[in-house]
Structure 1
Amino acid sequence: MKKIELLLINIIILISFYTAQAQEKLYYNTFPLSDVKLLDGKFKNARDLNVEVLLQYDVDRLLAPYRKEAGLPEKAPSYPNWDGLDGHVAGHYLTAMALNYAATGHQESKRRLEYMLSELKKCQEANAINNPEWGVGYLGGFPNSEALWSGFKIGDFRVYNSSWAPFYNLHKMYAGLRDAWLYCGYEEAKSMFLEFCNWGIEIASGLDDQQMQHMLDEEHGGMNEIFADAYQISGDKKYLDAAKRYSHRMFLEPLSQGIDNLDNKHANTQIPKFIGFSRIAELSGDDQYNKAGRFSWETITENRSLAFGGNSRREHFPSVNACSDFIRDVDGPESCNSYNMLRLTEVLFRQQPSAHYADYFERTLFNHILSTQHPEHGGYVYFTTARPRHYRVYSAPNEAMWCCVGTGMENHAKYNQFIYTHSGDSLFLNLFIASELNWKDRNINLKQETKFPFEEQTKLTITNGSSKFNLMIRYPGWVKEGELRVSVNGKEVKYSALPSSYISIKRKWEKGDVVEVSMPMHSSIEHLPNVPDYIAFMHGPVLLGAETGTDDLRGLIADDGRWSQYPGGRLLPINEAPILIEDDIENIADKLSPLDEEPLNFTLNLEMINPVDIQLKPFFQIHDARYMMYWLALTSDGYQAYMDSLTNLENARIALESRTIDFVATGEQQPETDHVLKYENSSTGNHFDEFYRDARGNGFFSYQMKTNSETDLSLIVRYWGAEWGGRKFEIYIDDEKLVSEDNTGRWNQSVFHDVEYAIPDSMVEGKESIRVKFQSIQGNTAGAVYFIRLVKQE
């Protein structure tokens, strides 16, 4: 009983604290961005380059969909790339302008921020006048808003279900308005934000719980987080109720019980929900939400993340048996996922300032986020492939409007946010990044000087002021026990802390005090999750990679093509990549030899199959090249048998890829969106780690596929060989029947079968693309179809 009473008291105190702070800020442990100044180094360079890139975008084009949906005259045309999601980048851009103005006082960012707010205010007001039945408070640029939301309000989800993630789109503008207030103090932005939140409550007010949960099956960004923020800002409980109503129980309930149900789920659809779970827990003390948020982080970071901190392949979390896809596929971890994982990490750290959260944050920031910006032209990366000897592509301003362009705009604008945090009388040093802190509440100025990770030390100097406080210095998990050295004014500090914790130094700090920290870095390996024969080399927290050539970097800088985010250059055979032979694989990192005068550069002194002259360097320095981050490492005994099997499979895969003109991973969200999916009475699922789509009861599904204006083409369709029930259907090319198919009892084998259908030239001549349609016959099921390829005939 005493424990329960204590918990209730803590919750009451916590809620009272947030209410008192509601008009000030949301994140009570962070310093204002203006109080943390980046000093010269790679992070300041990345931030400054990002500002240059952001100023190349046309604000009126970003705002065009908002004016269109509000019924206002056009000022500029919308960007055509990802037009089915039109409007989402504007929200990210608004946040980026707020971050840059807050951090640097950049006046053009301020001007653009204020211009956007004034234009958006006009759109919100126009929506109330022009769309009074559904649009009061609305501030979205989503295409076809009137048909979408007027139906949605009464529970008609036909337009909603056929649209590309409506609430995901709106979430970006919600966040942009919140951030304009949070970081820059614009009260008008706060008012617009809360009006928009009121719209979000009203538009769903007629839906019952079942309808709400059905709606949440579609990607919806962090809508529950948005309403939690509104609750903290306003103190009005209706927003907390809305946050819980917009929480997806399909994940809340199992995750809160420690059950990982993420296999084959779209990664960046889920992670923002988990941020919302943790924000609700932070504000309400709800234990179910707390457990769900924490466990989601634990299982993703411990079981589903690669060495650089990223997660997912083909945008989905693979199952244990499908993790070899990381090596085969070119669309590796998505930058958006890491953007959101760092946001989740910050929420959890705020509630429990544990060094293992900061360790993950550091790894992902240095190896993934920093690496996703081109160091010269500033383009953003979508996929970071782990396939040996492949490469990444970059966006160009005003061309690509990917989701990772939007998050990229923000990523490089807030490097100063998590270097230092505070709680009570404690100052946490979380990241070793050259910077200056103005801790106004303590009248203390602090300077951190470091070239980390190119040197293994950092120095903190109190440059002004005097105050008693507790300095919490992070003891990184990658420093061995007892090796960290800390001194204050030249006198060594004794401590009992272990790696992945904080060392506490509580004293009165005076101007001129100097703290020096020595952090010896060691080389190590990490195994690819569930594929232990593949290893990555780390030095301290830094992932090491190797450049492997620049041949056929097709589409290196993407245009505005629908699929230009994919690195489309030739796939180099996996079995011909360098293979490491070593009988003591767990100690293989001892074979790295550092290069003089080149910090964090190493050579590999190992027996190697397919040998090449390899120089390892920080992965964040590798650009405009093919690369390797994961290496097949085998013992001498296991090599030959493994390679015989791998070579046969790889030769067949490469041969098929060389014939392929276009393909659809059916049932997967992004590939289907990319190929303009249309359907009726159709559903998706997953079987043996392969996604599928089928159609029943005179239903159909179809995709737009490019032909490159070629003839002599075939369609290859993958089916499962042991389906039940009637499987009669027809396949059409642009409404002209290609074939009538009957898979009823066809194979009776529990294996996949790829069937190739030759396409008459008359169906494709003179066409740059075709629509491939699968039409069910009454009483039968079309499919299930597991994969579709349009290929050149052999």
Structure 2
Amino acid sequence: MIPSEDCEDGVLMGVKTDLKEVDMARVGVCDPYLVNAARRELDYLLSFDPDRLLVEFRRQSGLDSKGLKNYGGWERGYDAAANPDGTDLPDRFTGHFVGHYLTAISQALASTFVGGPARRGLLERQRALVLGLRQAQEAYARLDHENAGFLPAFKVDALPGGKEGLIVPFYNLHKVEQGLIDVCRLSTDRALAAQALEAAGDFALFVVNWHHAHPDVDMLAIEYGGMNDALYQLYAITGDPVHLQAAHLFDETALFRRLAAGEDCLPGLHANATIPKVIGALRRYLVLGGRETGGELHDLYFKAAENFWSMVVDHHTYLNGDNSQAEHFHEPDALWRDATGNGTADGGYNDNSTSETCNAHNMLKLTRLLLQCTGEARYSEYYEHTFINAVLASQNSRTGMTTYFQPMEAGYPRVFGTPTGEFWCCQGSGIENFTKLNDSVYFTGTRGIYVNLFLDSTLEGAAPGLRLRQEADLLGRGEVTFSLEGDTSDPAGPLPPGDRPEEGVDLRLRLPSWVRREGVRLCVNGRDIPLDLEDGWVRLTLAPGDRAVYKLPLRLRPLPAPDNATWVGFAYGPYVLAGILAPTNPETNYAYGGILVRVGRRDDTASHRAAFRPSGDQDLNGWLDALDRNLVRTGRSAGESETVGGARGRSGVWPPTVPVFRLQNVEGPAADVPLVPYFALDDVVYALYFDLSSASSAPGVPSAAGRDAKAGAGGGREAGPAARPRVIDTVTPDQGNNIERGKALKASPDSRSLVEDGRAFRDAGPAGWFSYELSVGPHGGPVTLAVLVPDGVLENPGFEVRLGSSGQGTLPPGRLALSGFRILRREAEGLVWIGRDLPAAMVGTLAPAGTIRVLFASTGGRVGPVYGVRIEA
């Protein structure tokens, strides 16, 4: 298989993007913080043995697995013989991390972060993994001719919905397919790239043939990752119509039409299942370009991506740039409610489960493509903000491990994965994030070189024989310096010229929203020049030997939640500030939620430190409007920052100056809480949002879990929350994925979890049932069982609730007729929470270990639909 002649840089000529990516080999990153982050990641990648990564592929294809075990966790296989924990048929996502790993080492080898022995080590692993996957694929074809081309991370009969513990099989296979495509895109070993391309192409053919053999199967019913995105990339490389046919199978056009029409249909959708679909829609627009038949359909894909981005960023995004709670989108602008209203019990996806790292990773992919399509500065600003405050914040700088969630509720630590034995999706995204730290610093266009990130870096070949050097010191002097200097290496030649001057370059510098506009200046060779501003970008022309200083004085900003204006975070320029509440050890201060997912444990004592009120007779509006006087920078050195609040910084690898801020003119427990840039913290319990109250009220209103917001309805900062029940444990249907499996989902064969009208639910047929196991808390009751159902279910119920002890394999005997439930509260879209009180004696009998089994069983009718289940106090 060879690339199509119509392919340029891996993209078919059709829609011409405004901006082109810059080869990572041209971009050197000098920032010590990022250099440390990349080195930690490289050390981790070099710790893997390709033969162990290939164990399950070899076992399923009849090849010798050399007596080795797999790496465990989400990469476990079918039986105890190969699983390090000795389990049979565990819940798992086999193959996904192998694909992430292949992408990560390909990115690392294409970057400027790796050289010498490390480069040789990664090359050896890349080659062994690609050839091993290809051998397993070919061996499997000899065993099962009808399914030739299958990448055998598991048995093919698990498609499409999973089987015997294997979850979301097409999602897992997408990661492997994307890894092979990335080898083809990035590797300089053309023979190896050809092998990867053959394997990826054969898999695409398998997808088409499998669909023809199973025409009644809904390919879109179960999470499939970014399969459409990967297959459009493959088609862009090969021009093979079969590959295009395979990509079309994963186009969720019904969703794209709703998004293109401007409908916010996100509530209830699994966030990280949805974002890659939209990336795939935009990739279709880019790859097919003018070749698309039907102008309306073609434009639909761009409009869907553009609208989706705006919906997520404007209405579903926390102050760090990331989104989701319990892996899902919820009601627009309900961020405070989602972050504080789902309980604080250890384990489970509660208030600890906001801001999933995979979502930030994929939103940046989408943003990068939109920036390239449009050149709009708003995409660059979001990219910078989320890169700093979600992606950089996701890594432990001592260990290189990454987060699954970043809690927005005060009183939690960030907790990180382990080198082996877990392998969450976010660990896979994490190894990709920190092997491409230099991939989006610069872009080129007909108007010159666009600076996307203000970052210590160099760009080789910015002009013939010239290197662009950028020195960023935003946290210190609040300025960025650019200079053109000689570059004798320049092996790849200069960048495409665009309209740059004869002997220099044109730069486009974003004018950020986070600056104090009156202090922005541009000085070239010591002389101020007027700002030449166009569409959010400042034009700067540099000649060889020029030195330009872009002065960007950072502005302090309050960042209130849209649904509670008294729940407020703060930013200094592009840097979100975090309050240091207490030291902690994230390697021990965790519980498990989902499938082996580490989630933070809340420090209730520390959490109450994130509350204050203005002193004297100030109101909240006045205090926030005078933020420059009320949030004052006190610390000026890294050493001072590293010991502040009893917490230390990230391995001593700080930016040149890390500011420390203190609240002024306030009363309450937060008065002595230091604030520092969030990304630069390890080993602490923190607060990103603070509870503010008016001068006439108590000193700070702690965020009690489960409160509802009145703010927003009244529109003023004085608005406050109303009481809601405290949630002990909760589960949301998610198509049998991580959340439901983490709550010990059991179900009859006819039970389904679907998404309709933007809401996920689970049901079962007239003889069916399903159950979960939920915590009743450490005190054993009394508690309330709450169930989210359509309004009207109580009038004609076709099912009942049964209660039993955890671990029961049969239907529990304890029956609760729905006639005994009452309406607790009403939600949007015609849904109601119904509930029934469970006395302490009942709870103590059924849940001696603190967990109760809640089963929904048919009484002759349909079971459900059930949209959520909670244990409340």
TM-score normalized by structure 2? 0.78
Q: 2:847 & 2:823 partners in 1: Cα distance?
A: 34
* 2:231 alignment partner AA: F
Counterpart position of 2:467: 445
- C-alpha spacing 1:207/1:585, structure 2 compared with 1 (3 Å): farther
Counterpart position of 1:5: none
Question: Among 572, 580, 584, which residue is 1:547 paired with?
Answer: 580
Counterpart position of 1:6: none
Question: Among 528, 533, 556, which residue is 1:497 paired with?
Answer: 533
How far did residue 332 of structure 1 move? 0.9
Q: 1:693 & 1:23 partners in 2: Cα distance?
A: 41
2:445 is equivalent to residue 401 of structure 1:
no
Task: Give the total of aligned pairs.
Answer: 755
Q: 2:610 & 2:454 partners in 1: Cα distance?
A: 35
Aligned residues: CA RMSD: 3.8
Q: Which aligned pairs between 1:175-254 and structure 2 lie closer than 5 A?
A: 175-185=178-188, 186-206=193-213, 211=216, 214-254=218-258
SS of match in other structure, 1:133: helix
Question: Among 419, 443, 450, which residue is 1:421 paired with?
Answer: 443
* 1:71 alignment partner AA: G
* 1:279 alignment partner AA: R
Q: 2:309 & 2:520 partners in 1: Cα distance?
A: 27
SS of match in other structure, 1:46: helix
Counterpart position of 2:385: 363
Counterpart position of 1:11: none
SS of match in other structure, 2:175: helix
Q: Decide which moves more: 191-200 or 405-414.
A: 191-200
Q: Decide which moves more: 356-365 or 241-250.
A: 241-250
- C-alpha spacing 1:49/1:601, structure 2 compared with 1 (3 Å): same
How far did residue 435 of structure 1 move? 1.4
Counterpart position of 1:255: 259
Contact 1:694 1:782 in 2 (8 A): yes
Question: Among 515, 532, 537, which residue is 2:548 paired with?
Answer: 515
Q: CA-to-partner distance for each residue in 1:451-477, whole Å, 9 max, x for gaps?
A: 344441122222226844422222222
How far did residue 24 of structure 1 move? 11
Contact 1:472 1:505 in 2 (8 A): yes
Counterpart position of 1:294: 306
2:858 is equivalent to residue 776 of structure 1:
yes
Counterpart position of 1:267: 271
Q: 1:462 & 1:494 partners in 2: Cα distance?
A: 20
How far did residue 18 of structure 1 move? 5.7
Question: Among 522, 537, 543, which residue is 1:486 paired with?
Answer: 522
- C-alpha spacing 1:51/1:580, structure 2 compared with 1 (3 Å): farther
How far did residue 550 of structure 1 move? 3.1
SS of match in other structure, 1:252: helix
Question: Among 672, 685, 700, which residue is 1:626 paired with?
Answer: 685
2:409 is equivalent to residue 327 of structure 1:
no
2:330 is equivalent to residue 318 of structure 1:
yes
Gaps of at least 5 residues in structure 1 are 1-14
Counterpart position of 1:110: 123
Q: CA-to-partner distance for each residue in 1:572-595, whole Å, 9 max, x for gaps?
A: 596674133351254152211111
Counterpart position of 2:295: none
Q: 1:146 & 1:16 partners in 2: Cα distance?
A: 30
Question: Among 283, 287, 294, which residue is 1:283 paired with?
Answer: 287
Q: 1:232 & 1:666 partners in 2: Cα distance?
A: 36
Q: 1:685 & 1:124 partners in 2: Cα distance?
A: 32
Q: 2:819 & 2:798 partners in 1: Cα distance?
A: 5
- C-alpha spacing 1:527/1:207, structure 2 compared with 1 (3 Å): farther
How far did residue 235 of structure 1 move? 2.1
Counterpart position of 1:472: 508
Counterpart position of 1:7: none
Q: 1:782 & 1:355 partners in 2: Cα distance?
A: 47
SS of match in other structure, 2:460: strand
2:99 is equivalent to residue 91 of structure 1:
yes
Q: 2:143 & 2:768 partners in 1: Cα distance?
A: 36
Q: 1:470 & 1:207 partners in 2: Cα distance?
A: 55
Q: CA-to-partner distance for each residue in 1:510-529, whole Å, 9 max, x for gaps?
A: 2x232221111110111223
* 1:194 alignment partner AA: G
Question: Among 646, 653, 659, which residue is 1:600 paired with?
Answer: 659
Counterpart position of 1:9: none
Counterpart position of 2:627: 589
Counterpart position of 1:66: 57
Counterpart position of 1:702: 771
TM-score normalized by structure 1? 0.86
Counterpart position of 2:85: none
Q: 2:36 & 2:406 partners in 1: Cα distance?
A: 22
Contact 2:456 2:471 in 1 (8 A): yes
Contact 1:459 1:516 in 2 (8 A): yes
How far did residue 443 of structure 1 move? 3.9
How far did residue 692 of structure 1 move? 5.1
How far did residue 34 of structure 1 move? 1.6
- C-alpha spacing 1:519/1:319, structure 2 compared with 1 (3 Å): same
Contact 1:80 1:560 in 2 (8 A): no
Q: CA-to-partner distance for each residue in 1:269-309, whole Å, 9 max, x for gaps?
A: 10001111111111223200010011111111122111111
SS of match in other structure, 1:472: strand
- C-alpha spacing 1:297/1:779, structure 2 compared with 1 (3 Å): closer
How far did residue 250 of structure 1 move? 3.4
Q: Decide which moves more: 292-301 or 75-84.
A: 75-84
* 1:41 alignment partner AA: P
Counterpart position of 2:741: 673
Q: Decide which moves more: 710-719 or 252-261.
A: 710-719
Q: Which aligned pairs between 1:511-590 and structure 2 lie closer than 5 A?
A: 512-550=545-583, 555-556=588-589, 562-571=595-604, 577-581=610-614, 582-583=618-619, 584-590=622-628
Contact 1:707 1:769 in 2 (8 A): yes
How far did residue 731 of structure 1 move? 4.2
How far did residue 183 of structure 1 move? 1.7
* 2:469 alignment partner AA: K
Contact 1:271 1:340 in 2 (8 A): yes
2:411 is equivalent to residue 389 of structure 1:
yes
How far did residue 50 of structure 1 move? 1.3
Gaps of at least 5 residues in structure 2 are 77-91, 290-297, 342-350, 488-501, 638-657, 709-720, 825-831
| Identical pairs, percent | 25
Q: Which aligned pairs between 1:682-697 and structure 2 lie closer than 5 A?
A: 682-684=751-753, 693-697=762-766
Q: 2:4 & 2:139 partners in 1: Cα distance?
A: 37
Q: 1:452 & 1:410 partners in 2: Cα distance?
A: 26
- C-alpha spacing 1:87/1:479, structure 2 compared with 1 (3 Å): same
Q: 1:494 & 1:410 partners in 2: Cα distance?
A: 40
Q: Which aligned pairs between 1:301-312 and structure 2 lie closer than 5 A?
A: 301-312=313-324
Q: 2:837 & 2:734 partners in 1: Cα distance?
A: 18
2:25 is equivalent to residue 34 of structure 1:
yes
Q: CA-to-partner distance for each residue in 1:429-455, whole Å, 9 max, x for gaps?
A: 111111121127744322222234444
SS of match in other structure, 2:20: coil
Q: 1:352 & 1:66 partners in 2: Cα distance?
A: 42
Counterpart position of 2:716: none
Contact 1:700 1:782 in 2 (8 A): no
SS of match in other structure, 1:52: helix
SS of match in other structure, 2:768: strand
Q: 1:35 & 1:173 partners in 2: Cα distance?
A: 27
